[in-house]
Chain A
Amino acid sequence: MTTRDLQPRTEPYRIVGTSPAHHDFVDKVKGSLLYAADWQLPGMLHGRVVRSPVPSARITGLDVTAARARPGVAAVLTAADVPNNQIVELASGGLAELQVTMPVLAAGRVRYTGEPVAVVAAATQQMADEAAELIAVDYDELPGVFDPESARADGAPRVHDVGNTLVSWQIRSGDVAGALAAADVVVEGEYRTQHVEHAYLEPEAGVGWVENGVLTLRVSTQVIEHAAMIAHILGLSQSKVRVIAAYMGGGFGGKEDMTVEPYLALLAWHTRRPVRMIWDRQESLLASTKRHPFVMRYRTGADQDGTITAQQVEILGDAGAYPNLSPRVLFAAAACACGPYRVPNASITSTAVFTNNVPSSAFRGFGAMQVVLGYESQLDLLAGRLGLSRTELRERNFLAKGDLLPTGERLDTCVEVAQTMHRALGMLGAPPRPSGPGKLTGRGIGCNRHPYGRTIWFRDRASAWLSLQADGTLLIRSGVTDLGAGQAASLCQIAAEVLGAPLDDISIYIGDSALNPPAGGTFATRQLYMSGNAVLHAARELRERIAPVAADLLGVPADDLDWAGGHVRAEAGGPGITLAELAAACDRRAVSTAHLSTWRAEAGSFDPRTGQGDTFPDYTYGTHAADVEVDTETGQVTVLRYAACHDVGRAINPMRVQGQIQGGAVQGLGYALTEDMAIEDGYAQAALFADYLIPNAQDFPDVLVDIVESGEGKGPLGARGIGEPPIGNVAATIASAIHDAIGVRPDRLPMTPERILALLDGRHP
Chain B
Amino acid sequence: MRLLAGARGEAKVLAGGQSLMPMLNLRLAHPDLLIDINPADQREPSLDGNTLRLPALTRHRVLLEHDLVRRGCPLLAEAVRYVGNVRVRNRGTIGGSLAHADPTSEIGCCALASGAQVVARGPAGDGQSDRTVPVSDLFAGYWATTLAESEIITDVLIPAARPGTGWSFHEMVRRTSDFAIVAVAVTVNLAERNGAIAAAHVALAGVADRVVLADPELTAGLMGSTADEDLDAAAARIAERLEPASDVHASGAYRRRLARVLTARALRQARARAAGEST
Q: Which one, B179, B251, B261, contacts A754 given CB within 8 A?
A: B251
Q: Which one, B176, B247, B249, B254, contacts A698 given CB within 8 A?
A: B176
Q: Which one, A280, A282, A633, A674, contacts B174 given CB within 8 A?
A: A674
Expressed in whole angstroms, the Cα–Cα distance for A505 and B258 within the complex equals 60
Does B257 count as interface, using CB distance less than 8 angstroms?
Answer: yes
Asked, given contacts A634-B261, A686-B248, A754-B251, whether A696 binds B172 with beta carbons under 8 Å apart, the answer is no
Residue of B nearest to A635 (CB): B254
Expressed in whole angstroms, the Cα–Cα distance for A519 and B174 within the complex equals 42
Does A129 count as interface, using CB distance less than 8 angstroms?
Answer: yes
Interface string of A463-497 (1 = CB under 8 A from B): 00000000000000000000000000000000000
Residue of B nearest to A750 (CB): B174
Q: Which one, B176, B247, B257, contacts A757 given CB within 8 A?
A: B257
Does B178 count as interface, using CB distance less than 8 angstroms?
Answer: yes
Expressed in whole angstroms, the Cα–Cα distance for A753 and B248 within the complex equals 13
Does B27 count as interface, using CB distance less than 8 angstroms?
Answer: yes
Measured between beta carbons, the chain A residues less than 8 angstroms from B261 are 633-634
Q: Which one, A129, A752, A757, contacts B27 given CB within 8 A?
A: A129
Within 8 A of A (CB), among B225-272: 247-251, 254, 257-258, 261
Interface string of A740-765 (1 = CB under 8 A from B): 00000000000011100100000000
Q: Which one, A280, A693, A757, contacts B178 given CB within 8 A?
A: A693
Interface size class of A (residues with CB under 8 A): 20 to 34
When the two chains form their complex, are residues A282 and B175 in contact, meaning their CB atoms are under 8 A apart?
Answer: no
Measured between beta carbons, the chain A residues less than 8 angstroms from B40 are none
Interface string of B173-190 (1 = CB under 8 A from A): 011111100000000000
Expressed in whole angstroms, the Cα–Cα distance for A678 and B247 within the complex equals 11
When the two chains form their complex, are residues B172 and A691 in contact, meaning their CB atoms are under 8 A apart?
Answer: no
Does A1 count as interface, using CB distance less than 8 angstroms?
Answer: no
Within 8 A of A (CB), among B100-121: none
Expressed in whole angstroms, the Cα–Cα distance for A273 and B250 within the complex equals 48
- B241 shortest CB reach to chain A, Å: 20
Residue of A nearest to B255 (CB): A754
Measured between beta carbons, the chain B residues less than 8 angstroms from A129 are 27
Q: Which one, A634, A674, A691, contacts B258 given CB within 8 A?
A: A634
Does A552 count as interface, using CB distance less than 8 angstroms?
Answer: no
Main secondary structure on chain B at its contact with chain A? Answer: loop
Does B26 count as interface, using CB distance less than 8 angstroms?
Answer: yes
Residue of A nearest to B260 (CB): A633
Asked, given contacts A129-B27, A282-B26, A636-B172, whether A685 binds B178 with beta carbons under 8 Å apart, the answer is no
Interface size class of B (residues with CB under 8 A): 10 to 19
Measured between beta carbons, the chain B residues less than 8 angstroms from A688 are 26
Does A690 count as interface, using CB distance less than 8 angstroms?
Answer: yes
Q: Which one, B27, B172, B179, B248, contacts A634 given CB within 8 A?
A: B172
Does A161 count as interface, using CB distance less than 8 angstroms?
Answer: no
Does A699 count as interface, using CB distance less than 8 angstroms?
Answer: yes
Expressed in whole angstroms, the Cα–Cα distance for A634 and B180 within the complex equals 14
Main secondary structure on chain A at its contact with chain B? Answer: loop
- A381 shortest CB reach to chain B, Å: 27
Within 8 A of B (CB), among A672-722: 674, 676, 678, 685-686, 688, 690-691, 693, 695-696, 698-699
Expressed in whole angstroms, the Cα–Cα distance for A686 and B249 within the complex equals 9
Residue of A nearest to B253 (CB): A754
Interface string of B86-112 (1 = CB under 8 A from A): 000000000000000000000000000
Measured between beta carbons, the chain A residues less than 8 angstroms from B26 are 280, 282, 688
Measured between beta carbons, the chain A residues less than 8 angstroms from B178 are 690, 693
Measured between beta carbons, the chain B residues less than 8 angstroms from A690 are 178-179
Residue of A nearest to B25 (CB): A280
Expressed in whole angstroms, the Cα–Cα distance for A753 and B247 within the complex equals 15
When the two chains form their complex, are residues A691 and B249 in contact, meaning their CB atoms are under 8 A apart?
Answer: yes
Q: Which of B247, B251, B254 has the most CB of A within 10 A?
A: B254
Measured between beta carbons, the chain B residues less than 8 angstroms from A678 are 248
When the two chains form their complex, are residues B175 and A696 in contact, meaning their CB atoms are under 8 A apart?
Answer: yes
User: Chain B: residues with CB nearer than 8 A to chain A?
Assistant: 26-27, 172, 174-179, 247-251, 254, 257-258, 261
User: Chain A: residues with CB nearer than 8 A to chain B?
Assistant: 129, 280, 282, 633-634, 636, 674, 676, 678, 685-686, 688, 690-691, 693, 695-696, 698-699, 752-754, 757
Known A-B contacts: A634-B172, A698-B175, A754-B254. Give 10 more (CB < 8 A).
A634-B261, A685-B247, A690-B178, A691-B248, A693-B178, A696-B176, A699-B176, A753-B174, A754-B251, A757-B257
CB-based closest 8 A-B pairs: A685-B248, A698-B176, A754-B254, A633-B261, A699-B175, A686-B248, A696-B175, A693-B174
What would be 28 A-B contacts, judged by CB atoms less than 8 Å apart?
A129-B27, A280-B26, A282-B26, A634-B172, A634-B258, A634-B261, A636-B172, A674-B174, A676-B248, A678-B248, A686-B248, A688-B26, A690-B178, A690-B179, A693-B175, A693-B178, A695-B175, A696-B176, A696-B177, A698-B175, A698-B176, A698-B177, A699-B176, A753-B172, A753-B174, A753-B254, A754-B254, A757-B257
